[in-house]
Each structure stands twice: as C-alpha cells, then as structure tokens.
Chain A
Amino acid sequence: MDLDDQANVSRLAEEKGTGEMIVILGQPDSNSAGLFAETVTRGDPTWAGALAGVPLGLPVYHILEPEIKAQMDPALYQEHVGLMELSADVDDIIKWVKFYREGGAA
C-alpha cells in the first residue's frame, strides 16, 4: 500500500479507534487484494510504511464477497462492479482476503 495511505489509515485508526471500522477492497486480482488485506490486518509486509509491525487487525472484505454485495444497491453494484465480477477470479480473491481476515495462520 502507498506509504501516504498507510499513514492515513494508521492516523484514522488512532483517532477513531478500530471498533466500528471496516476495510473494503476493490482490487482485481488475488495478489494485490491479499497484499492490502495483509497490510490492514498483520501490518505492512514490506516493512516500508507506517503500518510496518502494526497489526491493526481490521475486519477486511472484498467488494466481490457475497455478504458485502447483498447489502449494496443492486443497480449501483452492477454499474460499478459488474464488469470486474465477470472477469476476475472471484473465488481466489475471496480466499486470500478471508485468509488474512481470519488471522492469516502461517
């Protein structure tokens, strides 16, 4: 994740607390989705940004996950996500985001 954005997320977590916070991702592949999911749960794996060594443990979901999709306006969803939903490897993306959301046991 961009270093400035890591700093922003870190600041928000400090100011607002993480109790009601949730991260929603829109990456088109499992590699980048997994990287972002790891950064907001276990910390920056590249050890370059403000979240290096900071395991925020935020609940992180991808926009393609059915339980997230079900809560959104269907017409808006189709307009903004429909194309990616057809072309992306949905199962693989969800698998890796869920992996980190659930603790990323490794």
Chain B
Amino acid sequence: MELKGKQVVAIGEREGVNGPSLKLLAESAGASVVFSVTQCFV
C-alpha cells in the first residue's frame, strides 16, 4: 500500500507510538493526515 497521496487516519497510543509521531512519519512518506489521536489505556 503506497502512502503517498493517501489520507491517513493516525490512531496512536501513549504506551506505543503516539498520534503526533504517527502524523510526522506518515507525512514523511508523502501522505496527508486528516485525523490524528493518541489513545490512552489506564
């Protein structure tokens, strides 16, 4: 699946990779991020 040009929904997790990090990474692959969130299970 090529990310370039895709609209990415980034669902991160505090104990894993968070939403802002996923957004940065997806953008580095040429995708646009339309929604980014960090879930938190406590």
Assuming A80-B21, A80-B24, is B1 touching A21 (CB within 8 A)? Answer: no
Cβ 8 A contact of B25, one of A2, A5, A32, A81: A81
The dominant DSSP class at the B interface is mixed
The number of residues on chain B lying at the interface, defined by a beta carbon within 8 Å of a beta carbon of chain A, is 32
Could you tell me the distance between the alpha carbons of A59 and B28 in the complex, rounded to whole angstroms? 19
Distance of A14 Cα from B13 Cα, bound (Å): 25
Main secondary structure of the interface of A (DSSP, over half): mixed
- State which of A9, A24, A32 has its C-beta within 8 Å of the C-beta of B22: A24
Quick check: B35 and A63 within 8 Å, CB to CB?
Answer: no
Q: Mark interface residues in A28-67 (1 if CB within 8 Å of B CB, else 0).
A: 1100100010001000000000000000001101010001
Cα of A1 to Cα of B41 in the assembled complex, Å:
10
Q: Is the CB of A58 within 8 A of B24?
A: no
